[in-house]
Amino acid sequence: MRIFLTDVLGEVGETLETEGLRGFFEQYLTWDYWETKIPLIGNFAGRVLLAILVYVIASKLIHKLCKIIVASMKRANADTGVTQFVSSFVKATLYGLLIITIATSFGVKESSIAALLASSGVAIGLALQGGLSNLAGGVIILILRPFVVGDYIIECTDKQEGTVVKIDLFYTTLSTVDNRRITIPNGNLTSASIVNVTARDQRKLEIKVEIAYSSDLKKAKGILERLLHEDEHVLSDQEMQVFVDELGASGIMLGLRAWVNTEQYWPTKWRLNEEIKLAFDEEGIEIPFPQMDVHIR
């Protein structure tokens, strides 16, 4: 059963024959040719469909396994950052093994894959020096634990600050007080100074306020001491100090120090600033502004 192009196209086929193309179409547009190729195409299509099916099933299993790992680490009271890091690492590793397994099923030899990984490893390492430093930074953060998820940190180089919400393989995510998300490479965090504001349960509150030289110094200090003892969030069992910090050009700088719980630091500071101003106004304690006396002869 041989059907040639000339049987279908008539004169067009004769024209193609005169141009030397008839042999090409006779070879590739015959039933005998495709009769031998169809099983090969079907076999390849079956492998592709099987590979897609394996990838979908394996992806679901990987996600399920990662959830089990996260749940197990939470039950073991593992640090949230460590849990996130391990989950990301396991997911990336399993997906890499899955891709290699699918490639070998299509006839790619393991030795070829190993050679490809070895040769491309150097190039990738050079191209992704920043990424590798971020990965190493993530490992260092999880080992040394300068901060954990939930801490409020300040990155001193670029002055980025916020609450740590996620420590990933390459990046750490912060949430700012105005609900912005900041993503900082782990390499930057390990190579810069970090201020961990909430590392301790208590913080020392310090407020400075200036009064005029004409004001009653002892009376002003008594007002500050009273406000400290009356504030419910100032820790009364810790040391409190009210002192003369400086004799300035425009007035006397008074200072106060007291301990508060870390989560109450800013509310207490804002509240005391307001109460100090109102109390000084009520008692006639003047808060001076910068000024200069000029004497003319």
pLDDT at position 5 is 42
pLDDT at position 104 is 74
- Tell me how crowded residue 27 is: count the other CB atoms within 10 A of its CB: 10
Q: Which two tokens stand for residue 285?
A: 């304690």
pLDDT at position 243 is 95
The answer on 117 and 41 residing in a single domain is yes
The answer on 173 and 95 residing in a single domain is no
The answer on 215 and 186 residing in a single domain is no
What domain range is 174 assigned to?
134-196
Closest CA to 16 of 32, 33, 4: 4
The answer on 96 and 45 residing in a single domain is yes
The answer on 253 and 212 residing in a single domain is yes
Kindly give the confidence (pLDDT) of every residue in the chain, 297 residues in length, as a single tens digit, with 9 standing for 90 and above. 444 444 544 544 555 455 555 555 555 555 555 566 666 666 767 777 877 887 888 888 888 888 888 888 878 777 777 777 788 878 888 887 878 777 776 666 666 656 666 666 555 555 455 667 777 888 888 888 888 888 899 888 888 889 999 888 788 999 998 889 998 888 888 888 888 888 888 999 999 999 999 999 999 999 999 999 999 999 988 899 999 999 988 899 999 999 999 999 999 999 999 999 999 999 999 988 776 777 788
pLDDT at position 72 is 83
The answer on 149 and 83 residing in a single domain is no
The answer on 117 and 44 residing in a single domain is yes
Q: Is residue 76 part of a domain?
A: yes
Q: Is residue 20 part of a domain?
A: no
Separation of alpha carbons 116 and 221, rounded Å:
75
CATH of the domain at 212: 3.30.70.100
Q: Is residue 1 part of a domain?
A: no
Separation of alpha carbons 67 and 81, rounded Å:
15
Q: Is residue 158 part of a domain?
A: yes
Phi, psi torsion values for 262, nearest 5 degrees: -55, -40
pLDDT at position 280 is 94
pLDDT at position 118 is 64
pLDDT at position 102 is 76
DSSP letters spanning 204-238: EEEEEEEE-TTS-HHHHHHHHHHHHHH-TTB-TTS
Of 196, 214, 248, the residue at which a domain comes to its end is 196
Q: Is residue 170 part of a domain?
A: yes
pLDDT at position 111 is 63
Q: Is residue 79 part of a domain?
A: yes
Q: Is residue 10 part of a domain?
A: no
Q: Is residue 16 part of a domain?
A: no
The answer on 212 and 159 residing in a single domain is no
Of 99, 127, 155, the residue at which a domain comes to its end is 127
CATH of the domain at 75: 1.10.287.1260
Separation of alpha carbons 241 and 221, rounded Å:
10
Separation of alpha carbons 138 and 147, rounded Å:
11
- How many structural domains are present in the chain? 3
Of 150, 173, 196, the residue at which a domain comes to its end is 196
pLDDT at position 124 is 54
CATH of the domain at 169: 2.30.30.60
pLDDT at position 106 is 67
The answer on 206 and 184 residing in a single domain is no
